[in-house]
């Protein structure tokens, strides 16, 4: 209850901030883009991770204004970084509650228009469960989003229930292999996932890359993009900025 009250005040009081984690070309190591990760600078509890407040934000629908702010801020920041690194992508996590809301594609359009970010540089990360709650509605929503020109990624891929036919039928651009697969370093499993993605013409991002061995295996398997503590930790915009000039 206190958290809910605090959350409302935090939205008004601009206590949210975005951290950014780099994503790097699997073959060349070049910076390709960032994933935006929301943080709450709580007055007394310090910096709170999303695990502490996203659930509450979803239950109270406060995820709608919070999610709209995240979209605006991520697009604004990415557009500013384009002055240094044109074409940089920005990936934004979208909760099921946000995705299912009828106003979602309008919120995305507004963030693009206000920031001037090229739509193809915005990647919306959805979870399998967000898409599976109502596949027909999800397909309709995805059609709206694709018309705007944004890209769509399936986050935490491999942990959910999505069927091959769903993957084939929905207009998805990218799979993010869940870090549990990356860290198991199970070559057979990773190989199957990459072949599947390549066969469906999907870009693949591996997340949670923590060791040089994991990186080498993913490179051998032709993974498009790598994300993880080995390459860069999530950090505030000032830290992320220093990756641009590398």
Residues 203, 175 contacting (CB under 8 angstroms): yes
Find which of Mn ion, ligand G, Na ion, none residue 73 binds, CB within 5 to 8 Å per kind: none
In terms of CB distance, is 155 or 174 closer to Na ion?
Answer: 155
Give min distance, CB of 211 to ligand G, in A: 9
First to last CA, the chain: 45
Binding status of residue 35 toward Na ion by CB under 5 A: no
Give min distance, CB of 107 to ligand G, in A: 13
Distance CA 63, CA 170 (A): 25
Which of 6, 35, 73, 156 is the binder for Na ion (CB under 5 A)?
Answer: 156
Binding status of residue 155 toward Mn ion by CB under 5 A: yes
Query: What's phi and psi for 176, nearest 5 deg?
Result: -105, 110
CB within 8 Å of 241: residues ≥ 6 apart: 81
Residues 77-96 that bind Mn ion (CB under 5 A): 93
What SS3 string covers 91-117?
A: EEECCHHHHHCCCHHHHHHHHHHHHCC
Find which of ligand G, Mn ion, Na ion, none residue 51 binds, CB within 5 to 8 Å per kind: ligand G
Distance CA 205, CA 151 (A): 13
Give min distance, CB of 31 to Mn ion, in A: 17
Residues 115-144 that bind Mn ion (CB under 5 A): 125
Binding status of residue 77 toward ligand G by CB under 6 A: no
Binding status of residue 155 toward Na ion by CB under 5 A: yes
DSSP reduced 3-state for 233: coil
In terms of CB distance, is 6 or 155 closer to Na ion?
Answer: 155
DSSP reduced 3-state for 85: coil
Which of 21, 32, 77, 89 is the binder for ligand G (CB under 6 A)?
Answer: 21
Task: Let me know the angle formed at the C-alpha of 142 by 137 and 144, rounded to the nearest 5 degrees.
Answer: 100
Output the six-digit token pair for 132.
């599976």
Stretch (H or E) spanning 154: strand 151-157
In terms of CB distance, is 187 or 229 closer to ligand G?
Answer: 229
Interaction site with Na ion (CB under 5 A): 155-156
Interaction site with Mn ion (CB under 5 A): 93, 125, 155
Interaction site with ligand G (CB under 6 A): 21, 37-38, 49-51, 54, 70, 93, 95, 155-156, 179, 207-210, 228-229, 234
């Amino acid at each position: 209850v206190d958290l809910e009250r605090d959350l409302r005040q935090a939205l008004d009081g601009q206590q949210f901030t975005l951290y950014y984690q780099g994503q790097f070309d699997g073959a060349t190591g070049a910076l390709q883009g960032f994933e935006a990760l929301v943080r709450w600078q709580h007055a007394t509890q310090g910096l709170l991770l999303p695990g502490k407040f996203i659930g509450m934000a979803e239950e109270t629908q406060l995820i709608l204004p919070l999610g709209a702010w995240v979209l605006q801020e991520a697009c604004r920041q990415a557009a500013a970084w384009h002055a240094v690194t044109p074409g940089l992508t920005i990936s934004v996590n979208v909760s099921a509650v946000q995705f299912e809301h009828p106003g979602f594609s309008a919120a995305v359009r507004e963030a693009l228009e206000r920031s001037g970010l090229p739509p193809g540089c915005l990647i919306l990360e959805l979870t399998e469960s967000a898409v599976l709650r109502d596949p027909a509605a999800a397909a309709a929503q995805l059609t709206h989003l694709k018309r705007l020109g944004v890209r769509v990624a399936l986050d935490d891929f491999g942990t959910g229930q999505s069927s091959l036919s769903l993957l084939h039928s929905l207009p998805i651009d990218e799979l993010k292999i869940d870090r549990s697969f990356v860290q198991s370093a199970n070559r057979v499993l990773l190989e199957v996932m990459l072949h599947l993605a390549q066969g469906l013409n999907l870009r693949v991002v591996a997340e949670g890359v923590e060791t040089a061995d994991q990186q080498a295996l993913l490179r051998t398997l032709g993974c498009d993009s790598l994300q993880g503590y080995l390459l860069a930790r999530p950090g505030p915009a000032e830290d992320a900025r220093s990756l641009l000039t590398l």
